[in-house]
Chain A
Amino acid sequence: MSDTAATWREYLTTPTPASRRQAALQRAWLSWRRFRANPTAMVGLVIILIIIAIAAFAPLLATHSPFTQNLNNRLMPWSAEHWLGTDELGRDVYSRLVYGTRVALRVIALVTIITAPIGLIIGAVAGYAGGWVDAALMRVTDIFLAFPRLILALALTTALGPGIDNAILAIGLTGWPPLARLARAETLTIRSSDFIAAAKVVGASPARIVFGHVMPLCMPSLIVRVTLDMAGVILVAAGLGFLGLGAQPPQPEWGAMIAAGRKFIFDQWWIAAVPGLAICVLSLGFNLFGDGLRDALDPKASS
């Protein structure tokens, strides 16, 4: 066992990588070493991993069904039976909290699938093409940036109709402009480098240069930004849920759970307090993780 560990280490640290893959793995290893040395970033990573594990094993961890109502047993404080008490319909708050991780992670994943490609492509194309293409694409970006994010998402969800999928769409459609700005700025610094000129000389098409050379180099700063953005996505999604425009009952979404607990805030305060804490922990995890990633992937950007 220690033998394989030693060969792995040698593979990852030898100064003369033999293949492209080995060089890439070596870079990743170096970033990981930098990341691991940062205790707050590790806290963030552990929080995220724990929450992913909770979501994966939700049926095993939950003590009750998140949907089963028991009106004889409503608004109970915590007990051995209901670890975090019950809500206004007698459902187990702890179990709903556990299943809520699935809703939250699904929102984050789907929003990222929408925002990251749109932002990356628009930004890289605008930055590389320049001229009127750049001007037009950035004008569209500026228009979307002219709305505060939540307000635009609110108006969109109202138009599309309330529901978690429409909320995801609305958050995604309002989330890409800052990413496009970032990708464009990165592209502008990359496009004038020598290796791009060399690629042009050997006859690479613009599409090949943008997708094969520019975009991969935009990735580190984009990944950092997307990770930090995930904290914001959680808060906007919870805000929409709180206003009744996101997840619909009986889905165990944390923002909607706070909204339901709001009526009982003075007497059964835990119903609203507990999901709020869960939101804080998850978005704190992404903030810490994102800060650590920035330090690890992009050492020059950190102070």
Chain B
Amino acid sequence: MPRKIAETAGSIALTILGLLLVTFVIGRVVPIDPVLAVIGENAAPGVYERTRIELGLDQPLYVQFGRFIVKAVTGDFGVSVLTARPVLDDLKRVFPATIELATLATLIGVLVGVPLGILAAVRHQSWIDHVARIVALIGHSVPVFWIGLMGLLIFYAQLGWVGGTGRQSVAFLDSVRERTGMILIDCLLDGDLDSFWDAWRHIVLPASVLGYFSLAYICRMTRSFMLEQLSKEYVTAARIKGLSEWHVVMRHAFRNIAVPLVTVIALSYGYLLEGAVLTETVFAWPGLGNYLTDSLLRSDMNGVLGGTILVGAIFIGLNLLSDLLYKLLDPRTR
């Protein structure tokens, strides 16, 4: 067991090192002069050389990479040119908004996707199976930002069912004290139900758009896991015993797909971070994705690299978590 832990730890460390190396290389090939980005075009000639040494750019590349690692591990991603604040502070500020959105989206994906996938497998080749297939197919073929725009057009502009872009209406801005950074929770902690309702109306559309994509993935995986289990002999045996279909599916088959399903959900959470970049841009949602795109449109490499490292680290963490959950929940892998 200790050997396994050491192996896992070693492989994670290597992956993170690789992640940092890739981001470091990206940061190096960028055609923007990092010195000019700090001092501006019109600085005196001596300032340029001094800043270059201050930034450590006169050192050999491997020294620079070593410093880069030390800084990244201690959370120092430099100062954002965009906000003139440390990138780490920016990331801390925007991250809760993305977590809130992605969590709600995953909830939607699980609560709709799992039952739909099970129904599609149980009623194989029926209309509900075809519905599930079409849902998954659309999820693989439609650009997430386009769905977001169309959603805004229909549900906000035409029907008025939901709030527009952003997290709150102008009238409610700063109405609640920021505690967790997750606006729905903050509203509840303050007991401000009006603000909660307003925030809910704003989050429901972006969360549904994102949730649709995780729903499509979760539904497809649930269906294929379930189909595999239902063709096994223990299911036939349970049916012959005279158990109700509900009992057969939920008590016997579902227990066996629960473990792989947990890993699928963990992975889909990671993919949401990707969808969040585009969704947050469409909905002006002040989260990590929006911060990333704002930074890269202004060629603010510190912000881009900090955000990229954070997303990559979360991705690695989720992969690890899904591995661990698998081992924890499935007695056969012990």
The chain A residues found within 8 Å of chain B, CB to CB, are 139-140, 142-144, 146-152, 154-156, 158-161, 231-232, 235, 238-239, 242-245, 255, 258, 262, 265-266, 269, 272-273, 276, 279-280, 283-284, 287-288, 303
Contacts and interface: CB of A to CB of B under 8 A. Distances in A.
B305 A155 contact: yes
B19 interface: yes
A156 B146 CA distance: 23
A284 B150 contact: no
Among B29, B143, B153, B271, the one with the most A-chain Cβ atoms within 10 Å of its Cβ is B143
Contacts of B27: 159
21 contacts: A146-B319, A147-B19, A148-B273, A150-B277, A151-B292, A154-B277, A154-B304, A155-B23, A158-B301, A159-B31, A238-B143, A239-B143, A243-B296, A245-B296, A258-B149, A266-B153, A276-B150, A279-B142, A279-B146, A280-B146, A283-B142
Nearest to A282: B141
Contact of A155 (B26, B143, B144, B153): B26
B293 interface: yes
Interface in B139-187: 140-146, 149-150, 152-153, 157
Interface in B245-303: 270-271, 273-274, 277-278, 281-282, 292-293, 296-297, 299, 301
Interface string B1-44: 00000000000001100110111001101110000000000000
B312 interface: yes
A147 B312 contact: yes
A265 B152 CA distance: 9
B149 A276 contact: yes
Contacts of A159: 26-27, 29-31, 301
Which size bracket describes the interface of B in this complex?
35 or more
Contact of A280 (B142, B271, B296, B312): B142
Interface of B: 14-15, 18-19, 21-23, 26-27, 29-31, 137-138, 140-146, 149-150, 152-153, 157, 224, 227, 270-271, 273-274, 277-278, 281-282, 292-293, 296-297, 299, 301, 304-305, 308, 311-312, 315-316, 319
A146 B19 CA distance: 7
Given A146-B18, A147-B311, A155-B26, A239 B145 contact: yes
Given A151-B277, A151-B292, A160-B29, A143 B146 contact: no
A279 B304 CA distance: 28
Contact of A235 (B143, B153, B293, B308): B143
